[in-house]
Amino acid sequence: MLKKPARWFGTLKVRLMLASALVIAASVAVSTEVVLQRVEARSVQAVMELERDSAERMAAMLGQRVVGLQKMLRATAAMMPAAVRRETPAAIEFLRDKPALTTSFANLFIANAEGQVLALHDGDTASARTLNLADREYFKRTVSQGIPVVSTPMSGRISLEPIIQVTMPVLGEGGNVEAVIGGALRLATRNLFDDLTYAGHSETDTATTIVTDARGVIISHPDRAHVMRSIEAEPGLAEVVARWVAQGRPVEPTGFAAHAPGRFITMAGVAGADWMVFRVAPDTELLGGLHQARREAIQWAGGVAVLGSLMILGLLALLLGPLSQLRRRALALQQGELAIHEGWPDPQGEIGELSRVLQQALHERAAGEEAQRTLARQMQSVLAAAPVGIAFSRDRRFEFVGAEFCALLGWQASERAGRPAADIFASGAEYQALGPAVQAAFAAGKPYFGELQFVRRDGTGFWGRLQGRPVEAANPGAGTIWLLEDVTEHRLVRERLSWSASHDALTGLLNRGAFEARLEAWLLEPGSLDAPRPPASLVYVDLDRFKQINDNAGHAAGDHLLRQVGALLRVQLRGDDVVARMGGDEFALFLPGCVAAVALQLSERLRLAITELGIDHADGRLTIGASAGVVEIDPAASVVVAEWMARADAACYEAKREGRGVVRVARAAAALRVVSG
């Protein structure tokens, strides 16, 4: 039975607390701290003004560089001959003769007003590229408004790395845009920011410079991995960026400066490019003298504290003699020299109570450890005999792992126990999403089931079916039991069956069933009175002279041409368009949001492109053609998929009957119109 504690004022803890408080209070240099704070406030204001000037100068420098690039493009556009604006060979030769431009940009292109790239210089040579820029927002603005444009950051279609496009319209005699010349600035490698950010760190400039666009997307950063991220995610900039966003993200040449804990933050807009320059400078470099003075004051205060500590040590020697005996007994216990119940001091007061509490706690811990060792041995026996991968985790770390579990991952049980559970997952994002999913399943009283990607010790990955159950449903801290099974082969078989059911094996396009399902799903989408759905177009394409290929060159040659046609259709269409092989030499295209007039132009372009396909044969080059039927789909009409398909097929049949090599259009009625032959 423990004795009743003494009054709180007479306890050892309170006496030590009062003695320490007196010593610390005597060491505080109040007057020195006040003076340093005033000097620091004035110095901070001066440094903020200097940093703001630096940000403004950098923004002005970037603006001048962008204007310089635009002047070079404008001068080149002004001297561009008419043939260069329309013909690929002339455009290629023109770019080869522009070394100043090709060294200023990562790549340089000339495109006609429809967006088709006539020539592209990749820094080494100029060549023709099958590339269309009509869907790019910067290209649309350049053509529609007839103005130079500096694009937002994007992923380049050629280099596949982050770039910014600088474009300049090429105007004809009537002031209309006949072509566009533009160049790319790479963000992840060399560009016009290198001397300000990537190469900007030196002994004299320790500030970090970041450049973003008007939306806050990073286009230049000392760490290239941050390019294309949001400035809002940058550590230490959250408060300043939040104020900028709340103000509508203004891009003003006049700088703004702020002093956050540990750093100065300045920002200024780049005129003409809609960019923002952010500079972050550590205040330890700019206010080093003040910090040194503060450290000296702290050192003086520390000296006083040391003297006070010596006084406290003297008091401890008198008051805590029995505590030294308790410490020696504890050390002897760690070394195993005495039994748990032997050699403990038994003084009066708090130290005596502490000695008895420690003895009792050690007895209980020893009993608990023995019970845990017994349970661990039993659990390891179960895990070793289990035919599936079994593991037990708590606080996101493995505590027990079975032999089969380790075999799946290529680890030894001794290497896996105690390590973070995240190590076995192939994706960190997938692992982070696992926690909420598991919690939701457990909260609903159900086990967790999921198929996830895992990584073995040798770096190879596999798909695994993971099952989890809580040890105690009412106590999440008790841990989780996991079952793991390799289902890689099952997934591959399932995916192959799923793909084969909806795709044509020869061309890789959708098959008839999948195509009609897509069309039917579009027809069943609900409309709105306020925003009626735009029409779509359906195109039916039938190859001409294809039977001659099979008869003269064989079915293998015919299959080769069918794959060529499939690849051509995929390249020419937009991202949301649907293309399918309907069977034999017949193809179908579904063009959402595309009226008949536009579908007509696209079909004619596809027809001409198909005539360029062919194979070399002993009798000469064998070529094919195409006939097509187009029907405009009215989403408000109550017509089923089969009817729309029949109308497009009928229009294609009319084109074949008229002599082939023709595109015909069928309206809602039966009216058809010949386009070309």
**In a shared domain, residues 624 and 546:** yes
Could you read off the pLDDT of 439-452 as tens digits, one per residue?
888 888 888 888 88
Q: What is the rounded distance in angstroms from the CA atom of residue 411 to the CA atom of residue 550? A: 57
271 lies in some domain: no
How many domains does one find in the chain? 4
Task: Answer for the pair 405, 423: CB distance below 8 angstroms, yes or no.
Answer: no
Contact present, 403 and 383 (Cβ < 8 Å): yes
Q: Is residue 408 situated within a structural domain?
A: yes
Q: Is the dihedral of CA 168, 172, 178, 181 positive or negative?
A: negative
N- to C-terminal Cα distance for the chain? 109
Which pLDDT value is given to residue 578? 92
Highest mean pLDDT among 322-331, 384-393, 400-409, 577-586: 577-586
Asked if residue 193 is part of any domain, the answer here is no
- Give the residue-averaged pLDDT of 107-111: 91
The angle that helices 641-657 and 512-523 make with each other, rounded to 10 degrees, is: 120
Clarify whether residues 519 and 460 are in a common domain.
no
Residue 579 has pLDDT above 90, yes or no: yes
Over residues 504-513, the pLDDT tens digits come to 888 889 889 8
- Of 164, 186, 208, which residue sits at a domain end? 186
* pLDDT tens digits, 589-641: 999 989 988 999 999 999 999 988 888 877 778 888 999 999 999 887 777 88
Q: Are 589 and 569 in contact (CB under 8 A)?
A: yes
Q: What is the pLDDT of residues 253-284, one digit of tens each?
A: 887 788 777 788 888 888 777 888 888 888 77
469: domain CATH number? Answer: 3.30.450.20
C-alpha distances in Å from residue 643, one per residue of 229, 361, 534, 536, 636? 49, 84, 19, 15, 14
Q: What is the pLDDT of residues 198-223, one digit of tens each?
A: 544 555 567 788 888 888 888 888 88
Range of the domain at 414: 386-492
Cα distances (Å, whole numbers) of residue 275 to 97, 152, 216, 266, 581: 32, 9, 9, 14, 47
Which of 205-214, 375-384, 544-553, 562-571 comes out lowest in average pLDDT? 375-384
- Each residue of 33-90: pLDDT tens digit? 665 667 666 777 777 788 788 888 888 888 888 888 889 899 998 899 988 888 999 8
Nearest to 47 by CA among 295, 283, 294: 283
Euclidean distance between CA atoms 487 and 562, whole angstroms: 36
Q: Shortest CA distance to 281 belongs to which of 305, 311, 259, 303? A: 259
Question: Tell me, what CATH number does 642's domain have?
Answer: 3.30.70.270
| DSSP of 361-387 | HHHHHHHHHHHHHHHHHHHHHHHHH-S
Give the pLDDT score at 142.
Answer: 92
**pTM for the whole thing?**
0.40
Domain check: are 552 and 451 in the same one? Answer: no
User: What's the rounded mean pLDDT across residues 296-300?
Assistant: 67
Considering the chain, what is the average pLDDT of its residues? 79
147-169 confidence digits (pLDDT tens): 999 988 888 877 778 888 899 99
Q: Residue 378's pLDDT band (boundaries 50, 70, 90)? A: low
pLDDT of residue 11: 54
Question: Which range among 194-198, 287-291, 501-505 has the greatest average pLDDT?
Answer: 501-505
515 in the same domain as 488: no
**Biggest alpha carbon–alpha carbon distance for the chain:** 117
Are residue 644 and residue 578 in the same domain, yes or no?
yes
C-alpha–C-alpha distance, residues 285 and 55, integer Å: 17
530 within domain boundaries: yes
497 confidence band (pLDDT: 50, 70, 90): confident
Q: Are residues 549 and 666 in the same domain?
A: yes
Q: Could you tell me the pLDDT band of residue 21, with boundaries at 50, 70 and 90?
A: low
Structure tokens at 181: 């010349």
Tally of CB atoms within 10 A around 38 = 9
Confidence of residue 12 (pLDDT cuts 50, 70, 90): low
For range 217-245, the mean pLDDT: 84
- ∠ CA 213-236-48 to the nearest 5 degrees? 80
- Is residue 233 in some structural domain? no
Picking from 449, 472, 492, the residue at the C-terminal end of a domain is 492
Same domain for 338 and 394, yes or no, is: no
- Alpha carbons within 13 A on the beta-carbon side of 184: 25
Q: Is residue 532 in some structural domain?
A: yes
Give the model's confidence band at 6: pLDDT under 50 very low, under 70 low, under 90 confident, else very high: very low
Residue 88: phi and psi, rounded to 5, are -65, -45
Please give the average per-residue pLDDT across 520-537, as a whole number. 77
**Strand-pair category, 107-112 with 536-544:** unpaired
Amino acid at 411: W
Give the span between the Cα atoms of 449 and 465, in whole angstroms: 7
Confidence (pLDDT) at 3: 45
- Taking each helix axis as running N to C, give the angle between helix 288-319 and helix 12-27, from 0 to 180 degrees, rounded to the nearest 10: 150
- Distance, CA of 360 to CA of 209 (rounded, Å): 61
Residues 531 and 660 in one domain: yes
Q: Where is mean pLDDT largest: 59-73, 473-487, 496-510?
A: 59-73
In a domain, 129, yes or no: yes
Q: Using 50, 70 and 90 to split pLDDT, how confident is the model at 17? A: low
Q: Does 525 share its domain with 643?
A: yes
- The residue out of 447, 466, 492 marking a domain boundary is 492
Averaged pLDDT for residues 175-184: 91
**Quick one: DSSP state of residue 573?**
S
Domain assignment of residue 249, yes or no: no
Q: How far is it, in rounded angstroms, from Cα 22 to Cα 94?
A: 85
* Position with higher pLDDT, 355 vs 476: 476
Q: Which of 16-30, 232-246, 361-375 comes out lowest in average pLDDT?
A: 16-30
Same domain for 510 and 427: no
Q: What is the pLDDT of residue 155?
A: 85
What span, in angstroms and rounded, lies between the C-alpha atoms of 627 and 663?
6
Least confident of 348-352, 516-520, 632-636: 348-352
Which residues on neighbouring strands pair with residue 267, listed in sequence order?
256, 278
Residues 95 and 157 in one domain: yes
470 and 515 fall within a common domain? no
pLDDT grade for 581, boundaries at 50, 70 and 90: very high
Tell me if residue 528 falls in helix, strand or coil. coil
